[in-house]
Chain A
Amino acid sequence: MEIRSKTLGAIVAIVIFGGIMGASALGLWKTKASRTPSRIQVSESAGKTDGDAVGEYSPADIRGNHRYAEISEMFDIPLEILSRAFALPADVDPATFKNQDFDSIYPEFEGEQEIGNGSMKWFVALYTGLPFEFEDDEEATYLLRPAVEILKSHADLTGEQIAYLDAHTIEIENGAGAAEYSLQGDEQQSGGETESEAENAERKQDEMVVAGKTTFADLLDWGVHVERIEVIIGGEIPNHLMRVYDYCAENGLSFGGIKADLQSEVDKLSS
């Protein structure tokens, strides 16, 4: 049997696209990982009893690309709690914020005292009482003070857990979550939300906050002179669309220090 080029071309296209369509029809064509964490199959020791925990989502499978809104929904933790626990700035939408983006707003929390995906897993596990075991970065995983306070007031912690939390707490001064916080019941919780919304509205009126996503173009738009920016960053602006955070990362600069200096320039403009 002989085959001509037109037939071969048609067969190639039909097999590839027909196969993809067939796989889609059967629900087999998946180009993205499931965003749903695995469920707990064998209960660990801590927290809930075996019967309670089995079948629930596993905090250990929370991923860097999970949005806070997804974590809130899957683990039944109010979004407001997550936002406060991780001190998200007012200009960050907690619903769409991803774990993996945390270091873009707080790059200083990396390394030996790290706030990252491990912190979120740990916080969720303690908050919900679901079992969770650290993998290999236990000593480096920390929580911010607001998260620790939330856990102490809400979660059913053992003395050992409280001592461990106290040894792994990072104090924070200017974050959104630094506001005094206590959670004693749903009533106060909703009151807290109202207060926070008011705060957010006020802050959003003045959006000139230097954060991880701030670009040089933003700073120039706000009125900061290019000369002042270049003095602070110690060089020329390579690209106006570049994020200040990325510039610092590429040039080995501390984003925290640069951010503070730039914010000071921005504040001078608004005062």
Chain B
Amino acid sequence: MKTFTKSKIWLRTVLQVFFFILIALIAVNHVLEDRGEAIPLLASASLHAVCPFGGVVSLYQFATLGDFTQKIHQSSFILMILVFILAFLFGSVFCGWVCPLGSVQEWVGKLGKRLFKKRYNHFIPRRIDQYLRYLRYIMLIWVLYATAMTGKLAFSAIDPYYALFNFWTREVAITGLAVLGITLLASLAVERPWCKYVCPYGAVLGITNLFSVFSIQRRESTCKACNLCTRDCPMNIPVHAVNVVRDHQCIGCLECTSEAICPIENTVVFATKGGR
């Protein structure tokens, strides 16, 4: 019997590495600019200015006062719109292909896979896990409410994304570093713990999975019910049990598709409804 080998969605890895390096360089250049030593031709914006979630938390202030939350700029709004365009078409692909914090958790998770083997990403019982997945909506509501009430970035003190790229400066709150540390540690046992349970931006984008133009489709006629798609899903979505994945947790990584883990050609695909 021919042994099946998983293929790699290599372009996703390339984009993840690219965006990680790009954001890291921008963060460094921002500090260098303050010292008058900025690297030419490289953006030196603050991290807040290149974070699309900044646009989301500013929506209330923009609608009521016509300006942005403190530290948020027009670029955050532009990015928010661009990511929403992607999300309406493809769901939460920003999480799976671009977000550097998600990428870092994934990379730490590779070490976790070596450590815990099959137990990796299966530590939390499903009956508890399924409810924990909605915690990020509570986080989203709190962030939006607190930001709207104070006009300040209520989230920044605990934001692991900001801490990840600024841990070497004195701008990071100790709580942010602590949350980052816990997130990275948890990534050894659970794939993308921040994305699954806490990320308020993932919560927003996850809603678009329910109606996005493209989604993961499983063709029952050719499916051999091997469950590899479910076993390989970083977000523990039971892909084998549905024909169309409309799960708010899907990050559009395509790791479950016939391009990657599914051994049967054209069986798990990223397509429009009924599309071939």
- Report which A residues bind B (CB closer than 8 A): 1-6, 8-13, 15-16, 19-20, 23, 28-33
Contact = CB atoms under 8 A, between A and B. Distances in A.
Given A9-B15, A31-B75, A32-B45, A3 B271 contact: yes
Contact of B73 (A11, A12, A19, A32): A32
B11 A9 contact: yes
A19 B12 CA distance: 20
A9 B13 CA distance: 10
B78 A29 contact: yes
B21 interface: no
A6 to B, nearest CB: 6
Contacts of A20: 75, 78-79, 82
A92 to B, nearest CB: 15
> Which 4 residue pairs are nearest across A and B when measured between Cβ atoms?
A31-B45, A9-B11, A31-B49, A19-B82
Size band of the interface chain B makes with A: 35 or more
B259 A4 contact: yes
B97 A12 contact: yes
Nearest to B271: A2
Contact of B15 (A12, A19, A23, A28): A12
Contacts of A8: 90, 93, 97, 252, 254, 270
A9 B90 CA distance: 11
A27 to B, nearest CB: 10
B40 interface: no
B262 to A, nearest CB: 13
B73 A30 contact: yes
27 contacts: A1-B271, A1-B276, A2-B270, A3-B214, A5-B257, A8-B97, A8-B252, A8-B270, A9-B12, A9-B14, A9-B15, A10-B11, A12-B15, A12-B86, A16-B79, A16-B83, A19-B79, A19-B81, A19-B85, A20-B75, A20-B79, A23-B78, A29-B74, A29-B78, A31-B74, A32-B45, A32-B73
A28 B254 contact: no
A131 to B, nearest CB: 21
B111 interface: no
Interface string B9-24: 1011011000000000
Contacts of A19: 78-79, 81-82, 85
Given A5-B11, A5-B259, A33 B78 contact: no
Contacts of A10: 11
Given A2-B276, A12-B93, 17 more contacts: A1-B275, A2-B271, A3-B90, A3-B214, A5-B11, A6-B11, A8-B90, A8-B270, A10-B11, A11-B90, A16-B82, A19-B79, A19-B82, A29-B74, A29-B78, A31-B46, A31-B75
Given A5-B254, A9-B97, A31-B45, A15 B85 contact: yes
